[in-house]
Amino acid sequence: MGLNSSKGKDIDLGDLEFSWTIACFRDGIPTLLAMEAYEAQLSSGQNESNPRIIHQLHSHFTTAGLLLLHQKQDSEKLILFNPLLRCYSLGETPLRAYFLYDQLQQLHFLSDHDKRLPPFDSYTYLFLIKATSNPLVGIGLHGLTLKLGFEFHVYVQTALVGMYFAAGNRVSAYKVFDEMPERSLVTWNVMITGLTNSGEFEKALCLLEKMPNRNVVSWTTLIDGYARVNKPKEAILLFWRMACDAIKPNEITILVILPAVWSFGDLRIMFKDMERLGLRPNRVTMISVLNACSHGGLAEEEFLEFFNKMVSKYKITPDVKHYGCLVDMLRRKGRLEEAERIALEIPSDQKAVVWRMLLGACSVYDDPEMAERITKKLMELERSHGGDYVLMSNIFCGTGRFSDGERFRKLMDVRGVAKLPGHSQLT
């Protein structure tokens, strides 16, 4: 959120709040109000992605000596330190979290003549574990948490499970999980996610059945896994088991099950069940539904039934993506003239992708006249897209109009348009 200044520049309200907070810290020991404001602002995620603000706070805390509090004020020290550590661990440069940790550790030993261990808490190590991408560093952190007595702390141990899965070390992840005396719902879900991402679907399903309490995340994770590896039957069966377990699917569940439904099921039945459960589709859900209709080969009447229901029943105004699905359905059925008419009616300037979709269909159905009309529309939107010229030239050449094809090739040179070379991701 921003305000407009007299100079015409936007002033971010988050920046103003942090400026006020820093001003409070400058006067000495932070007031309770300032510390609560600081923690709330960083924990909200509103400013955690702004490196300038984070670095400014880090620099001020260091130069003002606010990280060097007396032993009796260790809890206040961590209120300053942990949210800063969290921002670094979740940011673009998580390695800075370790620099911050090392800095405060050294400052502590320099100022504490008794050489006591730094008073870090479970959240400190939770954020450090989340920041690691190096398996060796992760193993070191695991050993450190055991030494400091966090072997029974559920959130620290859960973070270790996720870390080992991310490193591809399923054996260590299982070992940490099995040795946990207490497991939260998050712990179980982290295990299911790790096993699913590793392709261990049978083990993930076995774990799901053993869970004392399952939620929608537990089921959706495994459903998504089956759908992603093209196992639609298993995904749909698991979806119905979730319904029998009295777990109401959310919008994410619907989005991940739709690809399975258009491969191995009845989309209309699924949509009616979704309505029966009281789920209202949003714009993103409807794009997935319409894509499923188009790629699943549904009849035009069925597609239009969903499209009209989106507009009339759910009051969702179609945008270029929804119209694009409609155009895609028509061009797949070879009804290019209707698709062109729909494309002309789309109330958006960002519809070049729809025209290119139709241009490709003209190539399939050998319709150079329509292709030329569409190319003119594309030139009005984007004259520098080399692929449009090449495709139009190929369409002319494919129908024997070689001079027209050559004309478009020369037009590329005149306008200085270059076609990006093809490349492969294989090395």
pLDDT at site 173:
95
pLDDT at site 3:
34
pLDDT tier for residue 100 given thresholds of 50, 70 and 90: confident
Tokens of 125: 């190590």
58: closest CA among 14, 22, 28, 111?
22
DSSP string, 179-216: H-SS--HHHHHHHHHHHHHTT-HHHHHHHHHH-SS--H
- Residue 2's DSSP bridge partners are 12
State how far the alpha carbon of 136 is from the alpha carbons of 121, 139, 157, 272, in Å.
22, 5, 17, 51
Q: Which domain holds residue 8?
A: 1-131
Residue 374 belongs to some domain of the structure: no
pLDDT at site 74:
55
Residue 264 belongs to some domain of the structure: no
Dist CA 99 CA 282 (whole Å): 43
Dist CA 96 CA 178 (whole Å): 32
| Beta carbons within 8 Å of 123's beta carbon, 6+ residues apart | 78, 82, 86
Query: What is the phi-psi region of residue 113: left when phi exceeds 0, alpha when psi lies from -120 to 50, beta otherwise?
Result: alpha
Query: Can you give the pTM of this predicted structure?
Result: 0.65
pLDDT tier for residue 421 given thresholds of 50, 70 and 90: low
pLDDT tier for residue 112 given thresholds of 50, 70 and 90: low
Residue 59 belongs to some domain of the structure: yes
Dist CA 68 CA 398 (whole Å): 76
Number of folded domains that form the chain:
1
Residue 173 belongs to some domain of the structure: no
- List b or e across 179-203, with b for residues whose CB sees 16 or more CB atoms inside 10 angstroms: ebeebeebbbbbbbbbbbbeebbeb
289: closest CA among 56, 308, 213?
308
Q: Residue 137 class from Cβ within 10 Å (0-12 exposed, 13-18 middle, 19+ buried)?
A: middle
Tokens of 21: 């907070």
* pLDDT, tens digit (0-9, with 9 covering 90-100), for 356-370: 989 988 988 888 899
* pLDDT surpasses 70 at 335: yes
Residue 62 belongs to some domain of the structure: yes
Dist CA 127 CA 279 (whole Å): 35
Please provide the average confidence, as pLDDT, over all residues in the chain.
80
Dist CA 369 CA 321 (whole Å): 26
Residue 45 belongs to some domain of the structure: yes
Q: Looking up tokens 């942990």, which residue turns up?
A: 82
Residue 126 belongs to some domain of the structure: yes
Residue 332 belongs to some domain of the structure: no
Dist CA 177 CA 148 (whole Å): 19
Q: Looking up tokens 């602002």, which residue turns up?
A: 41
* pLDDT, tens digit (0-9, with 9 covering 90-100), for 179-196: 999 999 999 999 999 999
- 332: phi then psi, degrees, rounded to nearest 5: -65, -30
pLDDT at site 267:
76
* pLDDT, tens digit (0-9, with 9 covering 90-100), for 3-42: 333 333 333 434 444 454 545 555 444 544 445 555 555 5
Tokens of 390: 């090449």
Pure H helices in 298-367? 300-312, 320-332, 336-345, 352-364
